[in-house]
Amino acid sequence: MIPICVRIDADDKRSFDALKLDGWREIEVLETYRGKPDAKHHDLIRRALDRDLLACIAIAEKAFTHDRLHADPNIPLAVATEAKAEWVRKCFADRSCAVFVYADPAIRGFIALKWIDDGALIDLIATNKPRQHICSRLVKHAMADLKPSYLRAGTQQKNQEGRLFYSALGMTCIKRQRTLHKP
């Protein structure tokens, strides 16, 4: 049901043409951001507990609409949405993944991060109350708690909010990759 995926440099026209001839479909462009946002603890942010899982899934099911599965017209919306829910479940189950929630006390947002070398990768980040500085506080709290030497994150070129968000955190786009699916 989920198609296989390949990513190539967004400027690599030769590979792109060859893949298209081979039946691959262009889906989206993924941008990778890197930087070192400020570190600051926040009182309403804490490590996620097992009981926060359903609330985080509910946020993810509504918030993520630009990822490669949602962007693929061949994939039913329910399948793309369930894939994100499953991603959240995996983050909660994976003890090497650091998950923080913003709880006021209802869960308003969450961030999941993984270690990459001496840096951290934002695996997932979302809020159900946009433009209230919830996600920027989550990032800064994670920086203060985990103390990575740098932070990396990916977002789709079409995700204008995501791109502006990472730029506002002082992160810069270091890579653009085209995503293709087959069949």
Ligand X SMILES: CC(C)(COP(=O)(O)OP(=O)(O)OC[C@H]1O[C@@H](n2cnc3c(N)ncnc32)[C@H](O)[C@@H]1OP(=O)(O)O)[C@@H](O)C(=O)NCCC(=O)NCCS
Task: Assess 81 for contact with ligand X (CB under 6 A).
Answer: no
Task: Assess 63 for contact with ligand X (CB under 6 A).
Answer: yes
Task: Assess 155 for contact with ligand X (CB under 6 A).
Answer: yes
Which one, 68 or 178, has the nearer CB to ligand X?
68
Member of 57, 162, 179, 181 binding ligand X (CB under 6 A): 162
Task: Assess 151 for contact with ligand X (CB under 6 A).
Answer: no
Task: Assess 159 for contact with ligand X (CB under 6 A).
Answer: yes
Closest CA to 51 of 12, 103, 6, 14: 103
Query: Which of the ranges 28-36, 71-79, 123-131, 174-182 carries the binding residues for ligand X, by CB under 6 A?
Result: 123-131
Distance CA 85, CA 88 (A): 5
Among positive and negative, which fits the CA dihedral 94, 147, 68, 55? positive
Member of 168, 174, 176, 182 binding ligand X (CB under 6 A): 168
Q: How many residues make contact with ligand X (CB under 6 A)?
A: 19
Query: Least distance (Å) from ligand X to the CB of residue 116?
Result: 16
Task: Assess 132 for contact with ligand X (CB under 6 A).
Answer: yes
Task: Assess 55 for contact with ligand X (CB under 6 A).
Answer: no
Query: Which of the ranges 46-54, 73-81, 85-93, 128-136 carries the binding residues for ligand X, by CB under 6 A?
Result: 128-136
Task: Note the residues at the interface with ligand X (CB under 6 A).
Answer: 63-64, 125-127, 130-136, 155, 159, 161-162, 164-165, 168
